[in-house]
Amino acid sequence: MERRVVIPRYEPDYKPKWGVISILFVTTFLTTSIAGSQGGDTPLEIIINGLPFSVSLLGILMAHEMGHYFAARYFNVIATPPYFIPFPSIVGTMGAVIRIKSPIPNKRALLYIGAMGPIAGFIISCIVTVIGLYQSTVQPLPQPAGDAIIPVFGDSLLYYLFTKFIHGTIPPGSDIHLSPLAWAGWIGFLVTNLNLMPIGQLDGSHVIYALFGEKQRYAGWFFFIVLFFLTVLWPGWAVWIILTLTLLMIGHPYIPDGMPLNTWERFMGYVCVAIFILTFIPVPVSILGQ
Protein backbone atom coordinates (compact mmCIF):
# COMPACT_ATOMS: atom_id res chain seq x y z
CA MET A 1 0.00 0.00 0.00
CA GLU A 2 1.31 3.43 -0.94
CA ARG A 3 2.01 5.62 2.06
CA ARG A 4 0.80 9.19 1.87
CA VAL A 5 3.50 11.40 3.36
CA VAL A 6 2.64 15.01 4.11
CA ILE A 7 5.57 17.16 5.18
CA PRO A 8 4.77 20.66 6.47
CA ARG A 9 6.58 23.57 4.95
CA TYR A 10 9.87 23.42 6.82
CA GLU A 11 10.81 26.80 8.27
CA PRO A 12 13.81 26.32 10.59
CA ASP A 13 14.20 30.10 10.92
CA TYR A 14 10.52 30.70 11.66
CA LYS A 15 9.82 33.72 13.85
CA PRO A 16 6.33 34.44 15.20
CA LYS A 17 4.42 37.27 13.58
CA TRP A 18 3.54 38.86 16.88
CA GLY A 19 1.82 41.84 15.26
CA VAL A 20 -0.70 39.68 13.42
CA ILE A 21 -1.09 37.33 16.40
CA SER A 22 -1.77 40.26 18.77
CA ILE A 23 -4.25 41.97 16.44
CA LEU A 24 -6.20 38.75 15.96
CA PHE A 25 -6.26 38.05 19.70
CA VAL A 26 -7.45 41.56 20.61
CA THR A 27 -10.09 41.48 17.86
CA THR A 28 -11.32 38.08 19.04
CA PHE A 29 -11.38 39.35 22.61
CA LEU A 30 -13.64 42.20 21.48
CA THR A 31 -15.94 40.06 19.31
CA THR A 32 -16.40 37.42 22.03
CA SER A 33 -17.01 40.10 24.67
CA ILE A 34 -19.69 41.67 22.48
CA ALA A 35 -21.22 38.25 21.72
CA GLY A 36 -21.39 37.35 25.42
CA SER A 37 -22.56 40.72 26.66
CA GLN A 38 -25.94 41.31 28.26
CA GLY A 39 -25.96 44.86 26.92
CA GLY A 40 -24.89 48.27 28.12
CA ASP A 41 -25.27 51.98 27.46
CA THR A 42 -21.80 52.49 26.01
CA PRO A 43 -19.37 50.32 23.99
CA LEU A 44 -17.16 50.05 27.06
CA GLU A 45 -20.04 48.82 29.23
CA ILE A 46 -21.02 46.29 26.57
CA ILE A 47 -17.48 44.89 26.53
CA ILE A 48 -17.19 44.86 30.33
CA ASN A 49 -20.51 43.00 30.65
CA GLY A 50 -19.20 40.41 28.20
CA LEU A 51 -15.95 39.72 30.06
CA PRO A 52 -17.13 36.63 32.01
CA PHE A 53 -17.96 34.92 28.72
CA SER A 54 -15.00 36.11 26.67
CA VAL A 55 -12.35 35.47 29.33
CA SER A 56 -13.75 31.97 29.99
CA LEU A 57 -14.02 31.01 26.33
CA LEU A 58 -10.62 32.44 25.36
CA GLY A 59 -9.11 30.68 28.38
CA ILE A 60 -10.47 27.35 27.12
CA LEU A 61 -9.24 27.97 23.57
CA MET A 62 -5.85 29.17 24.82
CA ALA A 63 -5.41 26.08 27.02
CA HIS A 64 -6.24 23.85 24.05
CA GLU A 65 -3.82 25.50 21.64
CA MET A 66 -1.01 25.92 24.15
CA GLY A 67 -1.33 22.22 24.98
CA HIS A 68 -0.52 21.54 21.32
CA TYR A 69 2.20 24.19 21.27
CA PHE A 70 4.13 23.04 24.34
CA ALA A 71 3.89 19.40 23.26
CA ALA A 72 5.27 20.32 19.85
CA ARG A 73 8.14 22.31 21.33
CA TYR A 74 8.96 19.45 23.74
CA PHE A 75 9.59 17.24 20.71
CA ASN A 76 11.50 20.01 18.89
CA VAL A 77 8.71 20.44 16.36
CA ILE A 78 8.48 24.04 15.16
CA ALA A 79 5.00 25.48 15.78
CA THR A 80 3.41 28.91 15.71
CA PRO A 81 1.74 30.49 18.73
CA PRO A 82 -2.08 30.40 18.58
CA TYR A 83 -3.85 32.43 15.91
CA PHE A 84 -7.31 33.37 17.21
CA ILE A 85 -10.04 33.75 14.61
CA PRO A 86 -12.61 36.51 15.23
CA PHE A 87 -16.02 35.98 13.68
CA PRO A 88 -19.28 37.93 14.08
CA SER A 89 -21.57 35.22 15.42
CA ILE A 90 -23.38 34.22 18.62
CA VAL A 91 -20.01 33.22 20.11
CA GLY A 92 -17.79 35.80 18.41
CA THR A 93 -15.09 33.45 17.16
CA MET A 94 -14.32 30.45 14.99
CA GLY A 95 -11.74 29.22 17.50
CA ALA A 96 -7.97 29.28 17.33
CA VAL A 97 -5.25 27.37 15.51
CA ILE A 98 -1.53 26.76 15.58
CA ARG A 99 0.50 25.83 12.50
CA ILE A 100 3.16 23.12 12.47
CA LYS A 101 6.27 24.31 10.63
CA SER A 102 8.40 21.15 10.65
CA PRO A 103 7.77 17.39 10.31
CA ILE A 104 6.44 15.38 13.27
CA PRO A 105 9.20 12.82 13.89
CA ASN A 106 7.24 9.77 15.14
CA LYS A 107 3.95 8.46 16.52
CA ARG A 108 4.91 9.20 20.11
CA ALA A 109 5.36 12.87 19.32
CA LEU A 110 2.14 12.77 17.29
CA LEU A 111 0.22 11.38 20.27
CA TYR A 112 1.39 14.11 22.64
CA ILE A 113 0.85 16.90 20.11
CA GLY A 114 -2.62 15.59 19.24
CA ALA A 115 -3.76 14.72 22.78
CA MET A 116 -2.47 17.53 24.97
CA GLY A 117 -4.64 20.18 23.31
CA PRO A 118 -8.01 18.45 23.86
CA ILE A 119 -7.04 17.27 27.34
CA ALA A 120 -6.00 20.77 28.47
CA GLY A 121 -9.07 22.39 26.91
CA PHE A 122 -11.31 19.70 28.41
CA ILE A 123 -10.01 20.25 31.94
CA ILE A 124 -10.58 24.02 31.75
CA SER A 125 -13.99 23.45 30.16
CA CYS A 126 -15.00 21.20 33.08
CA ILE A 127 -13.95 23.83 35.63
CA VAL A 128 -15.71 26.65 33.79
CA THR A 129 -18.85 24.53 33.28
CA VAL A 130 -19.22 23.53 36.92
CA ILE A 131 -18.76 27.11 38.14
CA GLY A 132 -21.10 28.37 35.42
CA LEU A 133 -23.84 25.86 36.19
CA TYR A 134 -23.84 26.89 39.84
CA GLN A 135 -24.47 30.43 38.57
CA SER A 136 -27.25 29.28 36.21
CA THR A 137 -30.95 29.07 37.02
CA VAL A 138 -33.87 26.84 36.02
CA GLN A 139 -36.49 28.83 34.13
CA PRO A 140 -39.62 28.03 32.09
CA LEU A 141 -39.00 27.69 28.37
CA PRO A 142 -40.11 30.80 26.48
CA GLN A 143 -43.11 30.42 24.22
CA PRO A 144 -42.44 31.24 20.56
CA ALA A 145 -44.34 34.31 19.41
CA GLY A 146 -45.28 34.48 15.75
CA ASP A 147 -42.31 33.65 13.53
CA ALA A 148 -39.78 34.06 16.35
CA ILE A 149 -36.97 31.49 16.33
CA ILE A 150 -35.82 30.24 19.72
CA PRO A 151 -32.76 27.99 19.57
CA VAL A 152 -32.37 25.15 22.07
CA PHE A 153 -28.87 23.76 22.59
CA GLY A 154 -28.38 20.04 23.07
CA ASP A 155 -26.43 18.40 25.86
CA SER A 156 -23.52 16.02 25.73
CA LEU A 157 -23.60 13.14 28.19
CA LEU A 158 -21.09 14.89 30.46
CA TYR A 159 -22.88 18.24 30.37
CA TYR A 160 -26.14 16.46 31.21
CA LEU A 161 -24.52 14.72 34.19
CA PHE A 162 -23.04 17.98 35.46
CA THR A 163 -26.44 19.68 35.12
CA LYS A 164 -28.30 16.86 36.88
CA PHE A 165 -25.76 16.78 39.74
CA ILE A 166 -26.03 20.54 40.32
CA HIS A 167 -29.70 21.23 39.54
CA GLY A 168 -31.37 17.83 39.82
CA THR A 169 -34.18 16.82 37.47
CA ILE A 170 -35.38 19.70 35.31
CA PRO A 171 -39.22 19.98 35.34
CA PRO A 172 -41.05 19.53 32.03
CA GLY A 173 -41.42 22.82 30.17
CA SER A 174 -38.33 24.27 31.83
CA ASP A 175 -34.65 24.40 31.04
CA ILE A 176 -31.38 25.78 32.38
CA HIS A 177 -30.81 29.44 31.67
CA LEU A 178 -27.05 29.28 31.19
CA SER A 179 -24.80 31.84 32.81
CA PRO A 180 -21.98 33.25 30.63
CA LEU A 181 -19.49 30.78 32.13
CA ALA A 182 -21.83 27.81 31.60
CA TRP A 183 -22.32 28.89 27.99
CA ALA A 184 -18.56 29.18 27.48
CA GLY A 185 -18.12 25.71 28.99
CA TRP A 186 -20.75 24.28 26.65
CA ILE A 187 -18.88 25.72 23.67
CA GLY A 188 -15.60 24.43 25.10
CA PHE A 189 -16.99 20.88 25.20
CA LEU A 190 -18.26 21.24 21.63
CA VAL A 191 -14.92 22.53 20.35
CA THR A 192 -13.09 19.71 22.13
CA ASN A 193 -15.43 17.12 20.64
CA LEU A 194 -15.20 18.41 17.08
CA ASN A 195 -11.42 18.39 17.29
CA LEU A 196 -11.47 14.79 18.52
CA MET A 197 -13.33 13.43 15.49
CA PRO A 198 -11.13 10.63 14.07
CA ILE A 199 -10.76 12.03 10.57
CA GLY A 200 -7.91 13.53 8.56
CA GLN A 201 -5.84 16.17 10.30
CA LEU A 202 -8.01 16.61 13.40
CA ASP A 203 -6.68 15.85 16.88
CA GLY A 204 -8.75 12.68 17.17
CA SER A 205 -7.17 11.31 14.02
CA HIS A 206 -3.69 12.07 15.39
CA VAL A 207 -4.51 10.12 18.54
CA ILE A 208 -6.03 7.13 16.74
CA TYR A 209 -3.12 6.99 14.28
CA ALA A 210 -0.61 7.09 17.13
CA LEU A 211 -2.45 4.21 18.83
CA PHE A 212 -3.29 2.02 15.85
CA GLY A 213 -1.22 3.23 12.91
CA GLU A 214 -2.72 3.03 9.43
CA LYS A 215 -5.80 1.27 10.84
CA GLN A 216 -6.92 4.82 11.64
CA ARG A 217 -8.46 4.94 8.18
CA TYR A 218 -11.10 2.41 9.30
CA ALA A 219 -12.17 4.72 12.13
CA GLY A 220 -12.08 7.64 9.71
CA TRP A 221 -14.33 5.93 7.16
CA PHE A 222 -16.68 4.65 9.86
CA PHE A 223 -17.20 8.11 11.35
CA PHE A 224 -17.49 9.67 7.89
CA ILE A 225 -20.41 7.30 7.16
CA VAL A 226 -21.90 8.10 10.57
CA LEU A 227 -21.87 11.79 9.61
CA PHE A 228 -24.37 11.06 6.82
CA PHE A 229 -26.80 9.51 9.31
CA LEU A 230 -26.27 12.38 11.72
CA THR A 231 -27.36 14.91 9.07
CA VAL A 232 -30.85 13.43 9.42
CA LEU A 233 -30.85 14.61 13.04
CA TRP A 234 -29.02 17.90 12.43
CA PRO A 235 -28.32 19.31 8.93
CA GLY A 236 -25.26 21.16 10.24
CA TRP A 237 -23.26 17.92 10.07
CA ALA A 238 -23.30 18.30 6.28
CA VAL A 239 -20.73 21.07 6.71
CA TRP A 240 -18.32 18.55 8.24
CA ILE A 241 -18.93 16.15 5.36
CA ILE A 242 -17.93 18.90 2.94
CA LEU A 243 -14.91 19.87 5.05
CA THR A 244 -13.80 16.24 5.22
CA LEU A 245 -13.99 15.82 1.45
CA THR A 246 -12.29 19.14 0.61
CA LEU A 247 -9.84 19.92 3.42
CA LEU A 248 -9.56 17.44 6.27
CA MET A 249 -9.59 14.18 4.28
CA ILE A 250 -10.34 10.82 5.92
CA GLY A 251 -7.02 9.04 6.30
CA HIS A 252 -4.05 10.32 8.28
CA PRO A 253 -0.68 10.98 6.60
CA TYR A 254 2.07 8.48 7.30
CA ILE A 255 4.17 9.08 10.42
CA PRO A 256 7.18 6.87 11.34
CA ASP A 257 6.71 4.46 14.25
CA GLY A 258 9.62 5.50 16.48
CA MET A 259 9.69 4.30 20.09
CA PRO A 260 6.64 2.17 21.07
CA LEU A 261 4.06 3.86 23.27
CA ASN A 262 4.23 2.93 26.94
CA THR A 263 1.21 2.06 29.10
CA TRP A 264 0.71 5.64 30.31
CA GLU A 265 0.83 7.02 26.78
CA ARG A 266 -1.68 4.50 25.49
CA PHE A 267 -3.90 5.32 28.48
CA MET A 268 -3.68 9.01 27.53
CA GLY A 269 -4.86 8.13 24.03
CA TYR A 270 -7.83 6.17 25.37
CA VAL A 271 -8.67 9.09 27.67
CA CYS A 272 -9.07 11.22 24.53
CA VAL A 273 -11.45 8.60 23.09
CA ALA A 274 -13.46 8.71 26.34
CA ILE A 275 -13.57 12.52 26.21
CA PHE A 276 -14.88 12.33 22.65
CA ILE A 277 -17.72 10.02 23.73
CA LEU A 278 -18.58 12.06 26.83
CA THR A 279 -18.71 15.39 24.97
CA PHE A 280 -20.44 14.26 21.77
CA ILE A 281 -23.70 16.11 20.96
CA PRO A 282 -25.80 14.44 18.22
CA VAL A 283 -27.99 17.54 17.84
CA PRO A 284 -26.06 20.63 18.93
CA VAL A 285 -28.89 23.06 18.08
CA SER A 286 -32.62 22.66 17.55
CA ILE A 287 -35.51 25.11 17.26
CA LEU A 288 -38.12 25.27 20.00
CA GLY A 289 -41.42 23.91 18.78
CA GLN A 290 -40.00 22.06 15.77
Q: Which of 162-166, 244-248, 266-270 is the least confident region?
A: 244-248
Question: Tens of pLDDT along 60-84?
Answer: 999 999 999 999 999 999 999 999 9
- Percentage of residues in the chain with pLDDT exceeding 70? 92
In one letter, which amino acid is 209?
Y
Amino acid 4: pLDDT: 43
Tell whether the model's pLDDT for residue 133 goes beyond 90: yes
Give the pLDDT band of residue 145 (cuts 50, 70, 90).
Answer: low
**Once rounded to an integer, what is the mean pLDDT over residues 190-194?**
96
Does the pLDDT at position 171 exceed 50?
A: yes
Length of the chain counted residue by residue: 290
> What average pLDDT does this structure show over 131-155?
81
Query: How high does pLDDT run on average in the chain?
Result: 91
Q: Note the pLDDT of residue 6.
A: 46
Q: Can you spell out the DSSP letters for 43-110? A: HHHHHHHTHHHHHHHHHHHHHHHHHHHHHHHHTT--BPPPEEEE-SSSSSEEEEE--B-S---SHHHH
Tens digit of each residue's pLDDT (9 = 90 or more) over 224-258: 999 999 999 999 999 999 999 988 889 998 999 98
Q: Is residue 1 pLDDT above 90, yes or no?
A: no
With the C-alpha atoms ordered 10, 113, 96, 197, is the resulting torsion angle positive or negative?
Answer: positive
| Mean pLDDT across 194-199 | 96
Mean pLDDT of all residues in 200-211? 95
pLDDT attached to residue 39: 82
Position 12 scores a pLDDT of: 67
Q: Which of 13-17, 184-188, 219-223 has the lowest mean pLDDT?
A: 13-17
Query: What's the confidence (pLDDT) of residue 5?
Result: 42
Q: Is the pLDDT of residue 289 over 60?
A: no
Question: Is a pLDDT exceeding 60 seen at residue 40?
Answer: yes
Q: DSSP alpha helices (H): ranges in the chain? A: 18-35, 43-49, 51-74, 107-135, 157-167, 180-195, 203-212, 216-233, 237-243, 263-279
What is the band of 290 on the pLDDT scale with cuts at 50, 70, 90? low
- Residues of the chain above pLDDT 90, percent: 77
**Predicted confidence band of residue 11 (pLDDT cuts 50, 70, 90):** low
Residue 201 makes CB contacts below 8 A (sequence gap 6+) with 248, 249, 252, 253
What pLDDT score does 2 carry?
35
Q: What's the pLDDT at 3?
A: 40
With cut-offs at 50, 70 and 90, classify the pLDDT of residue 142: confident
